[in-house]
Amino acid sequence: MKNLRRNFERFCFQHRNKGIPNLMLYIVLGNALVYLYTLVTDSNLLYYLLCFDRASILRGQVWRLITYPLTYGYGYQLLLLAVSLFCYYSLGRAMENVWGTLKFNLFYLCGIVMMDIYCMIFGGYASVGYLNLSLFLAYATMYPQSQFLLFYIIPVKAWIFALVDLAIVLYGLFAYPFPDNLFSVISLANYFLFFGKDVLNVIPLSWRANASRLFRRAKKGPKKAKVIPFPDAGSYEASVARPEAPYTHKCTVCGRTDVTNPELEFRYCSRCKGYYCYCEDHISNHAHVE
């Protein structure tokens, strides 16, 4: 599985300019046009023609499988829709700049296909909101320290919003009956599939370090006192000696080193302000240190 993921990342990097460039711009413009047409004509006909409807798809209207992302603005006020579309456009552009066009296209398409398959098998309505939620969670995982303004006033870190959203998804998994309870998880399958264990990046590094330290303590039991030999005080070489580092490279995000994981490759990020090392899983997927 690890080799498959590595090969996929390499393929996306080698073909990063393939696909539809600036995909979120077209999706945002499509939503705006559908909303304006509905506002001018005072008719929901266009929404009904583009939205996901299982019965209509089975009758041959297969375009609904890919056009429902254009129905996000249904029932929204104009100002709220404008702010939401601008927000999702900015998130999509930031992700595409880091991932490349191909990987971002595959990420968004994977979310559409996952919801299509689930709704065609179990019925239900494919929600554009969950598709956009996967986009936000992906951005929050890549940039957990970025800030959003709650009510346009209160600055809140992206990882806080991400943890709240994941908690709501987890609540729905136990609060609703089958198969409705699995829809929120399936709709975020592209997020979990593309990030894997990197979804833990939304948890602050200090929290993970403390949890790991407590787990090791509970596993090993109380630490015994160590006898530390005192170097010869009359020796100049012993007095100036310094312990050598047990590793050469250490990932700033996950803490793995070339000693604990010799199979990994380590690189240094040129965009971070300072000398920061990252493993091959996080060199293209981390928040840059400003």
Tell me the pLDDT tens digit for each residue of 174-201.
888 877 788 888 888 888 888 877 787 7
Looking at residue 222, what is its pLDDT? 56
Looking at residue 237, what is its pLDDT? 47
Question: Which domain CATH number covers 151?
Answer: 1.20.1540.10
Total domains in the chain come to 2
Q: Is 233 part of any domain? A: no
Residue range 102-108: mean pLDDT, rounded: 93
Residues 187 and 272 in one domain: no
Looking at residue 211, what is its pLDDT? 63
With 0-12 / 13-18 / 19 or more C-beta atoms within 10 angstroms meaning exposed / middle / buried, residue 272 is middle
Single residue among 202, 237, 259 that ends a domain in this structure: 202
Record the tokens describing residue 148, joined without a space: 């959003």
SS3 at position 220: helix
Which residues have CB under 8 Å from 168's CB, separation 6+? none
Q: Which residue has the tokens 């552009």?
A: 93
Q: Is 218 part of any domain? A: no
Looking at residue 32, what is its pLDDT? 93
With bands split at pLDDT 50, 70 and 90, how would you rate the model's confidence at 67?
A: very high
Looking at residue 96, what is its pLDDT? 92
Looking at residue 216, what is its pLDDT? 66
Q: What is the pLDDT of residues 202-228, one digit of tens each?
A: 777 666 666 666 666 665 655 555 555
Q: Is 156 part of any domain? A: yes
Looking at residue 256, what is its pLDDT? 87
Looking at residue 21, what is its pLDDT? 93
Q: Which of 168-177, 193-202, 239-248 has the lowest mean pLDDT?
A: 239-248
Residues 113 and 195 in one domain: yes
Residues 18 and 111 in one domain: yes
Looking at residue 236, what is its pLDDT? 43
Residues 50 and 170 in one domain: yes
Q: Is 141 part of any domain? A: yes
Q: Is 187 part of any domain? A: yes
Q: Which of 13-22, 45-54, 105-114, 140-149 has the lowest mean pLDDT?
A: 140-149
Identify residue 111 by its one-letter amino acid code: G
Q: Which of 57-66, 133-142, 154-163 has the lowest mean pLDDT?
A: 154-163
Record the tokens describing residue 244, joined without a space: 């050598």
Nearest to 206, CA basis, from 159, 147, 274, 275: 159
Structural domain containing residue 253: 246-290
Beta carbons of 132 and 148 less than 8 angstroms apart: no
Looking at residue 27, what is its pLDDT? 93
Single residue among 150, 168, 202 that ends a domain in this structure: 202
Residues 171 and 31 in one domain: yes
With bands split at pLDDT 50, 70 and 90, how would you rate the model's confidence at 240?
A: very low
More confident position, 61 or 6: 61
Q: Is 221 part of any domain? A: no
Q: What is the mean pLDDT of the chain?
A: 82
Residue range 17-33: mean pLDDT, rounded: 92
